[in-house]
């Protein structure tokens, strides 16, 4: 569903992404881990065709995102770290607006259901988004992504700013979406949530994918240990510890 082949992005001499090869299947949650500047956002932006690759191809549903941008975009919902909404509109009105943009017309009741499924409290749904907390705006963003009924979900640090319960509910929602066949690629620093909701986790450093782990085979503590070893040591040392 989601595929990167030798995907690379150079900014001058800086290789922000270095020959990434990755496939995310329908129903799979793949988490991108790595220090600040590792290349996670670059990867997501390449899949969205916000930036053009220096080398390689990003495909969504078989469509090359640089060439068949329209078809690829239609299949994707994107949730950035800070969701941009219209502050004077309510949660319901924002969701209605963005759903229409993606070709969906929902009844008010359905719009509310999307918002509640994303964890927004019912009484907040009709209030202007300007008065929402960051977590509440994030939930509207999640509802917008769900209402688009996209086959692919790209998320860049979606749980930063969510309280632990919201983060837990968010993970459950991701699992439900994956169970319905959505392919999910998520950049995150939340190792615990990676273990809870991800199927696979890739550890990135300096634009390179160093290793890919099956989260079902390791504990959260092991994931943290392996992650830290990759961050602190050279590649070969971390490999020896696996």
Ligand X SMILES: Nc1ncnc2c1ncn2[C@@H]1O[C@H](COP(=O)(O)OP(=O)(O)OP(=O)(O)O)[C@@H](O)[C@H]1O
Q: Which residues of the shown chain bind ligand X in the complex (CB under 6 A)?
A: 11, 14, 16, 34, 36-42, 187
Radius of gyration in angstroms for the set of CA atoms belonging to the chain, rounded to a whole number: 18
CB nearer Mg ion, residue 125 or residue 187: 187
Token pair, residue 129, equals 């988004």
Token pair, residue 242, equals 């696996």
Centroid of chain to Cα 242: 27
CB nearer Mg ion, residue 26 or residue 80: 80
CB nearer ligand X, residue 14 or residue 214: 14
CB nearer Mg ion, residue 2 or residue 95: 2
CB nearer Mg ion, residue 85 or residue 187: 187
Residue 13 CB, nearest approach to ligand X (Å): 11
* DSSP, res 22: E
Burial class (CB in 10 A: 0-12, 13-18, 19+), 155: buried
- Point out which span in 41-49, 108-116, 126-134, 158-166 binds Mg ion (CB under 5 A): 41-49
- The distance in angstroms from the start CA to the end CA of the chain is 29
Rounded distance, CA 233 to CA 239, Å?
A: 10
Residue 55 CB, nearest approach to ligand X (Å): 15
Residue 68 CB, nearest approach to ligand X (Å): 24
- Point out which span in 34-42, 62-70, 161-169, 225-233 binds Mg ion (CB under 5 A): 34-42
Residue 37 CB, nearest approach to ligand X (Å): 4
Asked if residue 167 binds Mg ion (CB under 5 A), the reply is no
* DSSP, res 181: T
Rounded distance, CA 192 to CA 2, Å?
A: 24
Partner interacting with residue 91 (select from Mg ion, ligand X, none; CB below 5-8 Å by kind): none
Asked if residue 41 binds Mg ion (CB under 5 A), the reply is yes
Provide the 10 A C-beta neighbour count for residue 126: 12
Residue 145 CB, nearest approach to ligand X (Å): 19
CB nearer Mg ion, residue 96 or residue 190: 190
CB nearer Mg ion, residue 41 or residue 171: 41
Residue 121 CB, nearest approach to ligand X (Å): 29
Provide the 10 A C-beta neighbour count for residue 228: 13
Residue 32 CB, nearest approach to Mg ion (Å): 9
- C-beta of residue 217 within 8 angstroms of C-beta of residue 49: no
Number of residues that bind Mg ion (CB under 5 A): 2
Q: Give the per-residue SS3 of 193-209.
A: HHHHHCCEEEEEECCEE
Rounded distance, CA 186 to CA 157, Å?
A: 7
Asked if residue 171 binds Mg ion (CB under 5 A), the reply is no
Token pair, residue 117, equals 């499924």
């Amino acid at each position: 569903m989601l595929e990167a082949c030798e995907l690379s992005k150079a900014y001058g001499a800086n290789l922000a992404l270095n020959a990434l090869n990755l496939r995310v299947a329908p129903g799979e949650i793949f988490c991108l881990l790595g220090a600040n500047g590792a290349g996670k956002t670059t990867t997501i932006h390449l899949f969205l065709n916000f930036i053009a690759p220096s080398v390689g191809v990003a495909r969504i549903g078989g469509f090359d995102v640089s060439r068949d941008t329209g078809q690829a975009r239609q299949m994707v919902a994107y949730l950035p770290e800070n969701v941009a909404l219209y502050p004077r509109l309510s949660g319901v009105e924002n969701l209605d607006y963005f759903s229409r943009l993606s070709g969906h017309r929902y009844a008010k009741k359905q719009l509310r259901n999307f918002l509640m499924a994303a964890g927004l409290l019912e009484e907040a749904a009709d209030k202007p988004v300007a008065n929402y907390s960051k977590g509440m705006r994030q939930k509207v963003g999640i509802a917008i992504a769900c209402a688009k009924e996209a086959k692919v979900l790209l998320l860049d640090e979606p749980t930063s700013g969510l309280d632990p319960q919201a983060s837990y509910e968010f993970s459950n929602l991701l699992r439900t979406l994956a169970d319905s066949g959505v392919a999910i690629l998520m950049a995150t620093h939340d190792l615990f949530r990676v273990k809870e909701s991800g199927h696979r986790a890739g550890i990135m450093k300096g634009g390179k994918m160093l290793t890919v782990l099956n989260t079902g085979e390791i504990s959260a503590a092991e994931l943290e240990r392996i992650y830290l070893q990759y961050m602190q040591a050279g590649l070969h040392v971390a490999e020896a510890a696996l």
